[in-house]
Amino acid sequence: MPFDSTGKISFDHIYTAPDPRPFFGTLKRVGYHIPQLAKPYFARLIAEHPAERPTVLDVGCSYGVNAALQRCEATMDDLYAHYTDPAVRALDHAALVEADRARVRSGNPRFYGLDSSAPALEYALSAGFLDEAIHADLERDDPDGTQQKLLDDVDLVISTGCVGYVTEKTLNRVARGARPWMAHFVLRMFSYEPIAESLAELGYETTSVEGVFRQRQFASAEEQTQILDTLSAAGVDPTGLESDGWLYAQLYVSRPAGFPEL
């Protein structure tokens, strides 16, 4: 597979399929589990939010994985087993949508998704993982009127891997209306500082949660070498972490001033 501009293997092809079976089939092989590790932190912020029924926006949501974990009361292993099951792989598109909708438990909170992949968003909506979808590139463009109305509803913004591709440009455009809480899992090869500084101008305070979180294994020795070089150039010590074969993330929580740390 090709590499992207960050030195990581490019998985772009798995985000444009009409359903999530290629996504889960590919990422299972590299042990992608960061949404599972993120799930309890997101659940806690949802529970702590003062909104009676919070609206959660998942930035870079792809097929609505974070929403599916919450709404289907599932784990990543459950989703991997489901989408790689030969019987499920044999289903046509309509039957897969129907099977997934049957897994969804409605209720709190509402889930919106923001992504540049129309097929992924369409599937997440059809399956009932998302309530609304925003198909946009907010790195490049301001939201249109319809998109802005949806963003104005948002109480909590989450992500599990898009920061580094998404920058303060997107997150400022998301934050400037409703001032939602934010929780982002950010690979250690990327700095959250420009985002924190930009959000601070809007009255946010940012804290980092102690510890690191495994995202996935390196897909190849070449990928690992490139990422280790990137970490070294950024002054980040990979010893005992990325040097052992896994990509690691840190969790940053940004909220308007006055809220206690997570």
pLDDT tens, per residue, the chain with 262 residues: 676 667 776 677 889 999 999 999 999 999 999 999 999 999 999 999 999 999 999 999 999 999 999 999 999 999 999 999 999 999 999 999 999 999 998 778 999 999 999 999 999 999 999 999 999 999 999 999 999 999 999 999 999 999 999 999 999 999 988 899 999 999 999 999 999 999 999 999 999 999 999 999 999 999 999 999 999 999 999 999 999 999 999 999 999 987 767 6
CA distance 113 to 134: 6
What pTM, to 2 d.p., does this model score? 0.94
C-alpha dihedral (86, 90, 95, 100), degrees to nearest 10: 30
CA distance 1 to 4: 10
β-strands 110-115, 132-135 pairing: parallel
* Predicted local confidence at residue 1, as pLDDT: 63
Paired residues of 110 in beta bridges: 55
CA distance 165 to 10: 12
User: If 0-12 CB within 10 Å is exposed, 13-18 middle and 19+ buried, where does residue 166 land?
Assistant: buried
